[in-house]
Structure formats: structure tokens, C-alpha cells
Amino acid sequence: MDHKKQSDDKEHGKHTGHSVQMFKRRFYISLSLTIPVLILSPMIQEFLNFSFGFSGDKYVLFLISTLIFVYGGWPFLNGARNEIKTKAIGMMTLISLAISVAYFYSSAVLFGLSGTIFFWELVTLVDIMLLGHWIEMRSVMGASKALEKLSALIPDNAHLLLKDNNTEDVATSELKDGDIILVKPGEKIPTDGVIIKGESFLNESMLTGESKPVSKNKGDKVIGGSINKDGSLQVEVKGVGENSYLSKVIKLVKQAQASKSKTQALADKAAFWLTIVAIFSGVATFITWILIGKDVSFAIERMATVLVIACPHALGLAIPLVVAISTTLSAKNGLLIRNRTAFESARKISTVIFDKTGTLTKGTFGVKRIYSLSDKYLEDEVLRYFAGLDKNSEHPIAQAIVNESKNRNIELPNVDNFKAIKGKGVEGVIEGDKMSIASPGYIKELGLKIPNNITDIEGTVVFLIITNNNKNTLVGAINLTDTIRKESFEAIKTLKKEGIKTWMLTGDNKNVAKSVSDDLNLDGYFAEVLPEEKQKKIKELQAKGEFVAMIGDGINDAPALAQANIGIAIGSGTDVAAETADIILVNSNPKDISSLILFGKATYKKMVQNLIWATGYNVFAIPLAAGVLAGYGILLSPAIGAVLMSLSTVVVSINAKFLKVNK
């Protein structure tokens, strides 16, 4: 990737081949040439009550105006030619008609035709149009700057680790899969890979939207562009060039920005008809004033004002600018849009179906409840003995119990004579007592009775036994389940507030599913569902008239994601190419789902607001430009019309820039 490429060379919409710098340069040159035109214009002299002239001044006025018309007006004249050639007349055609009428009529008057010269109107109109387009392109390019910032995240060089453990600085572009690189504290990760040595915290906020630094250890994936905080890492390169996460993100964003949704198609259609209305209104205005008895110069001025003020400029910007901003904001917040129509349809979602494991839950064990089965021991004491026996074990259940003791700040006891009982549990001596952690099967084998209040609970249960004088006493139990994410509660609450039903799909048994569903206050659940049955469940809800969004991992849930009205794939790291999903969430965070839906609604709302403004103001502006209030002394000049048209563009731009993702 060329990270130094400048945005001025980019193209956008109607301005194909026109750069921000080009409009800026033509504006300043035309503006400087406008000053002598204003000084030499009779109408300006009369208005400001001064007199200035010299022999041949009108020809100087003509030459300078011609230069501004040709040089400053060229982007519009050329754009009109392309529009006519492709049979897609629009704003460039209207602007060109307006400045051409003003130029050729004024030139004819200067060389003998009876009428009024308004070269000053022509040049100020060209200036304002150049300024408006410059501002527009800056706005659009500004919305795409984040992509350049993403590209700039990749450092130019990397520390390649050699066989003798020395390092050699090489260009990042020269790295290949399998290379080992050294990443020092404070440096950016040059490319995607897997940590083979070291541990650290990485800042991935610019890539995934995750605000907190993420802990990374041996075997964890890292994303190129993330910032290494405090530890040295050795990373094996996996994914370079177009295969890197960042490249895939940028490609997805560009595709989404380039794709046209139904809203954009509506805007294009509206722009076409507004152009037709403007041309018809301009011609009708000219004929009407001539028939009324006004002179040609007045009629032409009215017609030019109508053509200018009705330019579908704001309309042409209304949707593309929102698209550019929303798509880029989404990418920065870990929401990758592959299908814009689906994204904008988020407002229609009536039901969200979640896959359970790894989405609503962490996919790891957590302590749900601790039972004291003896009056001699409190819950914290039971947990203390459990964690003491488990502190050296790497088993997920043991780690969950130890983590719970840490959360409660419990000091763990010393354990003597520790040993594992294969397939049954562990045992050891704590403070003189022999203690064992046992599975339900081992409890039955020992002839102990499991209390009734524990036999029917969902999840995994382990028991604590104290043995004295060959007598086994059941003193405690711990119930562990797949831990519900804290973010899930907030996500479900937000969705319900929006009137959206929430369901869960899981292959787990009904007890587990019911427990999670009840805890989260879901509207319902489907339990013991096989992967191939998920699609059927979505069809059932759709048959009831629900507009369904399905959240899955993008692989096992592919049929369900394809069946849903909106398929949302979840996954972190380099898993960004779930082909069946419309939208990809980089982090497996349920809060991102509610953020996505709310952002989709906000984006569509901005588009509608911009469409209403960009078309609605013409209802008042066109009659005003035509001169319906001329009898009251209210007349708009073409230049003032251009200002109003430009203001509508500014309003649309500002409105789009208020768009934001609520995380």
C-alpha cells in the first residue's frame, strides 16, 4: 500500500478528474480577476456612487470576464458536456446554462445589442460556484480522511529477527508470511501475525473501536497498526499486503462507499427531475417576463437566477456525504459494512436473534453460585478451600474458581500432599484437614447424597469434601456456567427500549437456555438447535411478519445469516470476510449490535433530513428567483441565488457531520 498518496488525486462523483486543489486554485485566480471587473462595471459604480473609466475599458472588461468564464467556468462547462454526452443532465448543466446565458448576453450587449451588461454577475457567480464546489470536495475528502489515517497506521519499517537473534530493519512491504519480527514497547505492529514470545497490552482503538488496551500473550493474534504498550513481542507474520486485516477493512469501506443504496437511487432520481424542473422553470420565467413587457436583460437575469438557485447541488451531496461519513465512522468503531442497503434497513428491524456462546456469553466458565452445605462454613470459606486446591491447575473450571476468589480478595491457603484423581477431581491437605474437589459422578461413587436443591440446576457443579477418620462430609458446592457478558445486559436493555424483540439460538439444553434467557429478560429462546436448523427458526419468525437480524459467527451460521433480513457476523482479528454477512462486527461485543442498529437508524434519518432540505427549499427558492415578489421590490440576483444554493450545500454538509456512533 502507498501510505503517502494524497487525497487531492482522488475522484468523487460528479467531480471526476477534478481535485480539491484545482477548485481552490481556480477560485483564488478568478477571485483576484473579479476585482477589476467589479471596478469597471457601470452597475457597481452606480451602486457605490463612484466613477472610473478609460479609453477601451469596456474591452478590458470583456477580456477579463472572458478569461474568468473560460478558466473559472471550465469545470462546469466540461462537466455539462459529460452530462449531456451520458444523457444524465444535472447540476453541471444548470450551472453552465446560467453562466453561458450571462456571458453571451452581456457580450452581445457590449458589442451593440440593446440591454444591460452584467459581467459582474457572471464573474461573482463563477466565484461562488467554485467556492461552493471547493467546500463540497473538502467535506467529502474530509469524510474519507480516516481511511488515509488507517493506512498511515502501518509503520514504514519493521525489525526483522534474524537467525542469530540480531535484528535488521526492513521495509514493511518486504515482509512475508513466516517472518519473525520484533516489536518494541511503544511501537506500532507492522503487520498481522501471531505472538510467539512475550506479552503486552495493545491499543487497537483505531482499528476495532475497543477503547481499553487489550492483553495479548503467546499464541494470540495481533493486528497490523495496533500500538504495543509496555512489553517486547516476537511476532510471526501471518497476513501481509492485501491479506492483512487493515487492507480488508479499507477495501470493505471503499466498496461500501462506492455502492449505491435505494436511498442514493432516490436522490439521483430526484436530482434528475429537479434539473428538468429547473430548466423548464428558467425558460418559463424568461418567456413570462418578456410577455409581461420587461426587457431581455431583466428576463435573462431572472432565468439565470432560477437555473442557479435550483441546482441540485445539495441533493447531489446529501447522500454521498452521509455514506462517506457513516461508513468511515463504522470502520473506526469496528462495524464493517458490506451491504449498505441492509445497513440502512436497520430501522426496520423488529427482532434480533443472538447466537448464545461467545456473543451473549463469554464462552468461558464463571462462578454463578456458591453453596455452603454445612453450618460450620460460610460461602467465602468454601470458596477459599476450593480455590486453594485449584490454584495450580490450568483446567478452565479451576481457573474460574481461582478468578472468583481473586475478585473477592480472598487469601488462599497453603496445600500439602496435593494430587489429582484422574477423571474424578483433586485432593490435598489444608490446615490439617484432608479436602477433595469432586465431580457429581465421584460423589455418587463415594455414596454421598447430592442435596435436592442442587440436582436440577443448569451448568457444571463441583463439590468440596472434607475427610476425617475415613468419613467423607459434603461441605460445599460451586455452580459454574458460561458467564453472561456485562455488555449483554445493556445491549438487550437498549434494544428493548427501541421496541425490538430479542431471541436467542443455542445448541445447549433447555435449562441452560432458560437460565440465560431469564437473566437477560429475552423475549424467547430456541434451545437444542442444530446448526442446520437455525435457518428454519429464522423463517418461522419471518413468516410471522418479523424483520429479522441474525447475529452469528459467519461460518457455522452461514445459512441463517443468509436467510435473515440482515446478517451480522461477529469475530475479531483477521476474520473479516464472512461472505454471507451483510455487516461484520470486529469485536464479539453485544453492545456493538445495539450501537450498529441505532447508528443505522441515525444514518437513514440523516439521509432523509438531507433529502428533505435539498429538495424542499426549492419550493420557496425557485418562485422567489423567478421574481414572484418583484412587485414588492424583492428580487434576487444570480450571485445571491448562488449564495443561497451554496448555503443549502453547507447545511447538508454540517448536518451530515453531526452523525456519530454511540458506543
* Edge-first strand listing for the sheet containing 167-171: 167-171, 157-161, 180-183, 233-237, 193-197, 221-222
What is the three-class DSSP state of 194? strand
Mapped onto helix, strand or coil, the DSSP state of residue 417 is strand
CA–CA distance from 654 to each of 89, 259, 616, 650 (Å)?
27, 23, 17, 6
> DSSP 3-state helix, strand, coil percentages of the chain (rounded to 5)?
55, 20, 30
Q: CA of 222: how far to CAs of 185, 207, 572, 578, in Å? A: 14, 11, 10, 19
209 close to 202: Cβ distance less than 8 angstroms: no
Helix ranges (H only) for 345-393 are 379-390
Q: What are phi and psi of 77, to 5 degrees?
A: -65, -40
Query: What are the backbone dihedrals phi and psi of residue 100, each rounded to the nearest 5 degrees, phi first?
Result: -70, -45
Would you give the DSSP letter of residue 101?
H
Hey, which residues does 183 pair with through a beta bridge?
233
Using CA atoms of 408, 410, 415, 419 in order, give the dihedral in degrees to the nearest 10. Answer: 0
d(CA 587, CA 223): 13
Helix-helix angle 262-292:313-332, to 10 degrees: 160
Enumerate the β-bridge partners of residue 436.
427, 465
Cα distance between residue 287 and residue 281, in whole Å: 10
Among 192, 355, 557, 592, the active-site one is: 355
CA–CA separation, 329 and 317 (whole Å):
18
401, HSE (Cβ side, Cα atoms, 13 Å):
32
| Most distant pair of Cα atoms in the chain: their distance | 127
Contacts of 634 by beta carbon, 8 Å cutoff, 6+ apart: 624
- 184 closest CA partner among 206, 200, 173: 200
Q: Residue 389 contacts by C-beta under 8 Å, 6 or more apart in sequence?
A: 415, 418, 426, 427, 428, 430, 435, 436, 437
From the centroid of its chain, how far is CA 230? 29
The yes-or-no answer on residue 592 being catalytic is no
Q: Residues with catalytic annotation?
A: 355
